[in-house]
Structure 1
């Protein structure tokens, strides 16, 4: 891999990290367990590996943004996740921030370059 490819990959991962957090929080407005969460995100065009998703879920729960509960479904124990009240507030603020950043970036790209 060239230096430019390595740099792009590093910057892509940095950009993706924050976006994944926002997407996971948004998707967990409705309760999911890990597999259905991955599947729903993928159906919406956002692939996420298990090795990324589960540590992210644990971190968000430790931060108080998610609540999880073990339940039996289809004769298997599954851990279901949903937003906590703090998670709902943080999601609303993050979404507002993301929309403001997105609007600004679109303005920058729409400006003619001199």
Structure 2
């Protein structure tokens, strides 16, 4: 696999896709509009393209995990996103699953040469 950078890129992107959903749900514990969310994620070390983030926000909203509304902030009309009750429950469940998977992976890593 190290000889195939395309395969590694695809695997890395697959891993990031799942983690990005978790990161967005965690970040939206506090309401954000798209740009402020993207900037927040970037400040935390997670780079996300606009072309990835905005479709993800729309998909999560269509899955009833997010709610949004238009607000005027700093004289500009912006769509502000926040977790729905369903989204908060999903966030908690995904976090618990992440902790369990992370622990299992640590155990596997520790026991393999």
TM-score interval, normalised by the smaller of the two chains: over 0.9
Per-residue CA distance 1:7-30 (angstroms, 9 max, x = gap)? 001000000000000000000010
Please name the residue that 1:36 is paired with.
36
Q: Kindly report structure 1 stretches of 4+ aligned residues shifted beyond 3 Å.
A: none
How many residues were matched structurally?
112
Please name the residue that 1:53 is paired with.
53
Gaps of 5+ in 1: none
Per-residue CA distance 1:49-106 (angstroms, 9 max, x = gap)? 0000000000000000000000111111100000000000011000000110011001
Name the CA distance, whole Å, in 2 between partners of 1:4 and 1:67. Answer: 41
Using the TM superposition, give the Cα deviation of residue 111 of structure 1 relative to its aligned residue in structure 2, in angstroms.
1.2
- When the two chains are superposed, the root-mean-square deviation of aligned CA atoms in Å is 1.3
Residues 1-114 of structure 1 correspond to what in structure 2 (within 5 A)?
A: 4-113=4-113
TM-score, L = length of structure 2 = 0.95
Gaps of 5+ in 2: none
Partner of 2:78: helix, strand, or coil?
strand
Name the CA distance, whole Å, in 2 between partners of 1:35 and 1:7. Answer: 31
Using the TM superposition, give the Cα deviation of residue 3 of structure 1 relative to its aligned residue in structure 2, in angstroms.
6.6
